[in-house]
Amino acid sequence: MARHFLELAYLGTNFHGWQRQPNGVSVQQVLEEGLSTLLQQEVAVTGAGRTDAGVHARYMVAHFDWDRPFMSMQKLVQKLNRFLPRDIVVYSASEVPPDAHSRFDAVARRYEYHASTVKDPFSQLLATRLRFSVHVQRMNEAAALLPQCSDFTSFSKLGGNNKTNICKVQEAYWEERGTLLVFHIEADRFLRNMVRALVGTLLDVGRGKLRVEDFAAIITACDRGAAGTSAPAEGLYLVDVRYPEAVFKRSVS
């Protein structure tokens, strides 16, 4: 049985997240249906993560197994994209070691959160509109505390059933891009709803509802009720998933 990694991207607006859902169409479902139709056999796909409803992925990795010869990888990608809707694109397909796993072998994941400081009809589904001004330096002072922490219970969705709430954040900061504010965060793993909860709480720091000291206390409280409201889904993007080179190396920019 040969294992293959797919590199893909999707606009999450019209999907109920990555994972198959009983009450809505997911990216995983559409991808599996496209592969199964193309290869004329049921195919299961495993993703590197489970983005929530409305969340986007500029870069996602997923794997599937296939035990028969098929066309070249390039033709597979070309034909698969014809089956997929316009808000999902597959960039590449590569054979990898048979024990490679798109989720469990990932050593780092990177997200961005986009927030617009002005009303913009062209980005309203791609960035959250801020209706208040924020102090970016204070938000960065608070974000700088995150790589020093390990327990992110305060930013985990209640009832998320995580085996552990321990994460190692390598980097977290805000960047100003004209009228757009972008939050960057990289970690070995993320809890469900973690980035949106962090963004919502950091925005409370930026607007003066919380001090940096309050943000530090929220982290150590290990209590989701102490943190701020989760930011809306439309501003969140998965932008990178990294693996040991022996497993897989990203091939698209």
DSSP symbols for 74-90: HHHHHHHHHHS-TTEEE
Maximum C-alpha span of the chain: 60
| Beta partners for residue 113, in sequence order | 183, 236
Q: Are 252 and 92 in contact (CB under 8 A)?
A: yes
The first and second tokens of residue 171, run together, are 């980097």
* Measured distance CA(136)–CA(180) in Å, rounded: 12
Helices 73-83 and 27-39 cross at an angle (nearest 10°) of 120
* Measured distance CA(244)–CA(194) in Å, rounded: 24
Active-site annotation, residues:
52
Listed residue (51, 56, 2, 20) closest to 234, CA to CA = 56
**DSSP 8-state symbol, 33:** H
Measured from the Cβ of residue 245, the count of other Cβ atoms closer than 10 Å reads 7
